[in-house]
């Protein structure tokens, strides 16, 4: 209650903005994830890895548009690419000069993707990948995992989304290789696809265990089903994506977030024989979307992957993340508190439990107010993270920003450990 009161007093402009917007948009937003009580901050401006809210407070940005903002807010390479693209016209109603270039860059970067198609979001990419798998196999069942999040209409979290599309889903526990192996074998002839995040993002940066992911690969191959890796978040976690680092080859991969340079983006791709279904000369499937090849995304994405988030830069950011997470976990261990940071590379999540976090069930007993306290504590220290404890690194964050984050966590533990 105290945190809410301090927050409300400090943010009159954000509050006014929220109340005015709420007249025209339910809950004042189009993105449920951005809401938190008593009202969310309105962000007025961003530069590098800094954000300013409507009341003029400055924050170090440790959420970076839920991973789409890896480039920060003002990379000249992205801005110049978008301006240059726009100078040749925005809505061209045809194949344009930029889309093939981005497709080639992505296929060369992620070797399991032989061919791909663009969408406007990660959600659409997953829906299209599943559609491709259903038609390719002629089957109906789709295996997903507890805690999985694949988009606004594809959620299997602790509270399953009532908006999830009515496909024939079989929901299995995440990170349980034995259960997965048994169930996939049992339902084998009905299974079209196994859809999995190699690290669950929305459920709290829970890394997939190698034996589990390998069991999915083996099960899919045996059943004649397609293994679909949702790498919308995890493609940034190693130079060529997390699946490559783990050495597991999926049949289809979905991408999103930062790969569009910070513009609306999604893509799905993989085996050429599966993707051939979309070839209008020979295949049976059509896939449309007015903005799928929009020039701004096509230009920004290419600039981002070739000039900024190169494979080397991806590797370095992952290393910085590993070092930061180790430092935060050392702090928790030293203070002996029930708090830890899970994740891989540049993505991590604070959790108020001891012991290994293998799936969402391991977090069920946590008092959600602790996450809220942490969130408001970080805001009061000038750090913008996410209400669920998700922490995301971006390229322009400095070592001083990371020091500041670690110091803020130290003070948080000191203040609330009782
Ligand atoms: N898949 C994963 C793993 C995600 O984390 C997200 C978004 O957070 C999506 C899919 C959906 O992407 P989008 O929000 O672009 O629809």
Q: Is 285 in contact with 132 (CB distance < 8 Å)?
A: yes
pLDDT-based confidence at residue 161 (cuts at 50, 70, 90) = confident
Spacing, Cα 5 to ligand 1 middle (Å) = 33
pLDDT higher than threshold 80 for residue 158 = no
The closest of 116, 49, 24, 64 to 385, measured between CA atoms, is 64
* Ligand 1 atom index nearest CA of 124: 16
| Residues 139 and 255 grouped into a single domain | yes
CA–CA gap between residue 157 and residue 203 (Å, rounded): 7
Q: Which two tokens stand for residue 15?
A: 């509050």
| Residues 145 and 212 grouped into a single domain | yes
Question: Is the minimum distance from the CB of 401 to ligand 1 under 6 angstroms?
Answer: no
CA–CA gap between residue 316 and residue 400 (Å, rounded): 17
The region of weakest confidence among 73-77, 407-411, 414-418 is: 414-418
Question: What's the pTM?
Answer: 0.98
Question: Is the minimum distance from the CB of 266 to ligand 1 under 6 angstroms?
Answer: yes
The region of weakest confidence among 28-32, 111-115, 341-345, 414-418 is: 414-418
Question: Is the minimum distance from the CB of 149 to ligand 1 under 6 angstroms?
Answer: yes
Would you say how long the chain is, in residues?
418
Best of 256, 289, 349 to mutate for ligand 1, by most ligand atoms within 8 A of CB? Answer: 256
Question: Is the minimum distance from the CB of 256 to ligand 1 under 6 angstroms?
Answer: yes
Q: Which two tokens stand for residue 46?
A: 């961003």
CA–CA gap between residue 296 and residue 125 (Å, rounded): 18
Question: What CATH number should be reported for the domain holding residue 124?
Answer: 3.40.640.10
Domain that holds residue 9: 1-23+39-61
Q: How far is CA 352 from the centre of its chain?
A: 21
* % residues pLDDT > 70 (the chain): 100
| Residues 173 and 241 grouped into a single domain | yes
When divided into structural domains, the chain yields a total of: 2
Q: Is 95 in contact with 227 (CB distance < 8 Å)?
A: no
Strands 252-256 and 226-230: parallel
Average pLDDT, the chain: 97
pLDDT higher than threshold 70 for residue 362 = yes
The pLDDT of residue 331 is 97
| Residues 249 and 183 grouped into a single domain | yes
The closest of 147, 177, 169, 162 to 361, measured between CA atoms, is 147
**Is 81 buried (19+), middle (13-18) or exposed (0-12) by CB count in 10 A?**
buried
Q: What is the mean pLDDT of residues 243-263?
A: 98
The pLDDT of residue 418 is 60
pLDDT higher than threshold 90 for residue 417 = no
In a domain, 85, yes or no: yes
Among candidate residues 262, 279, 308, the one where a domain is terminated: 308
In a domain, 208, yes or no: yes
In a domain, 217, yes or no: yes
| Residues 104 and 53 grouped into a single domain | no
Q: H or E stretch including 52?
A: strand 50-53
282-309 pLDDT tens trace: 999 999 999 999 999 999 999 999 999 9
Q: What is the mean pLDDT of residues 393-408?
A: 98
pLDDT-based confidence at residue 131 (cuts at 50, 70, 90) = very high
* Ligand 1 atom index nearest CA of 68: 15
| Residues 53 and 135 grouped into a single domain | no
Task: Report which protein residue has its CA nearest ligand 1's atom 8.
Answer: 151
Question: Is the minimum distance from the CB of 66 to ligand 1 under 6 angstroms?
Answer: yes
In a domain, 282, yes or no: yes
CA–CA gap between residue 143 and residue 125 (Å, rounded): 17
pLDDT higher than threshold 90 for residue 111 = yes
Question: Is the minimum distance from the CB of 262 to ligand 1 under 6 angstroms?
Answer: no
In a domain, 247, yes or no: yes
pLDDT higher than threshold 90 for residue 160 = no
Q: Is 365 in contact with 412 (CB distance < 8 Å)?
A: no
Contacts of 113 (CB under 8 A, 6+ apart): 106, 107, 253, 269, 270
Strands 115-119 and 347-351: unpaired
pLDDT-based confidence at residue 174 (cuts at 50, 70, 90) = very high
pLDDT higher than threshold 90 for residue 416 = no
Angle at the Cα of 57 from the Cα atoms of 54 and 61, rounded to 5 degrees: 100
| Residues 283 and 204 grouped into a single domain | yes
Angle at the Cα of 266 from the Cα atoms of 265 and 267, rounded to 5 degrees: 135
Contacts of 255 (CB under 8 A, 6+ apart): 106, 110, 116, 122, 125, 231, 232, 235, 265, 266, 267, 268, 269
Q: What is the mean pLDDT of residues 395-400?
A: 98
| Residues 127 and 173 grouped into a single domain | yes
Q: What is the mean pLDDT of residues 334-338?
A: 96
189-247 pLDDT tens trace: 999 999 999 999 999 999 999 999 999 999 999 999 999 999 999 999 999 999 999 99
């Amino acid at each position: 209650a105290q945190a809410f009161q301090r927050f409300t007093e400090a943010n009159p402009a954000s509050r006014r903005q929220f109340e005015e917007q709420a007249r025209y948009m339910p809950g004042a937003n189009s993105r449920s994830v951005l809401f938190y009580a008593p009202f969310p901050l309105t962000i007025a401006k961003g530069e590098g890895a800094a954000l300013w809210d409507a009341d003029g407070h400055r924050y170090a940005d440790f959420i970076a548009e839920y991973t789409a903002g890896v480039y920060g807010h003002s990379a000249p390479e992205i801005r110049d690419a978008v301006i240059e693209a726009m100078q040749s016209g925005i809505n061209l109603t045809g194949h344009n000069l930029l889309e093939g270039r981005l497709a080639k860059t992505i296929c060369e970067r992620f070797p399991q993707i032989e061919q791909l198609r663009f969408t406007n979001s990660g959600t659409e990419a997953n829906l299209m990948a599943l559609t491709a798998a259903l038609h390719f196999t002629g089957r109906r069942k789709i295996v997903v995992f507890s805690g999985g999040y694949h988009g606004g209409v594809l959620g299997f979290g602790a509270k399953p989304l009532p908006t999830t599309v009515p496909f024939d889903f079989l929901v299995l526990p995440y990170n349980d290789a034995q259960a997965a192996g048994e169930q996939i074998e049992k339902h084998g002839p009905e299974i079209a696809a196994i859809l999995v995040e190699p690290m669950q993002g929305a459920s709290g940066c829970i890394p997939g265990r190698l034996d589990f992911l390998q069991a999915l690969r083996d099960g899919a191959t045996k059943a004649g089903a397609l293994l679909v890796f949702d790498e919308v978040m995890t493609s940034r976690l190693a130079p060529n994506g997390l699946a490559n680092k783990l050495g597991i080859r999926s049949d289809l991969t979905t991408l999103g977030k930062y790969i569009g340079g910070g513009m609306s983006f999604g893509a799905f791709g993989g085996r050429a024989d599966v993707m051939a279904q979309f070839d209008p000369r020979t295949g049976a499937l059509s896939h449309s979307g007015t903005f799928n090849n929009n020039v701004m995304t096509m230009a920004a994405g290419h600039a981002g992957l070739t000039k900024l988030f190169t494979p080397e830069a991806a590797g370095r950011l992952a290393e910085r993340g590993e070092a930061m997470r180790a430092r935060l976990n050392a702090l928790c261990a030293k203070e002996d508190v029930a708090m830890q940071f899970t994740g891989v590379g540049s993505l991590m999540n604070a959790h108020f439990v001891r012991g290994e976090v293998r799936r969402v069930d391991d977090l069920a007993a946590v008092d959600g107010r602790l996450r809220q306290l942490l969130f408001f504590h970080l805001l009061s220290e000038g750090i913008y993270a996410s209400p669920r404890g998700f922490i995301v690194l971006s390229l322009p964050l400095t070592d001083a920003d990371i020091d500041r984050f670690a110091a803020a966590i130290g003070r948080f533990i000191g203040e609330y450990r009782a």
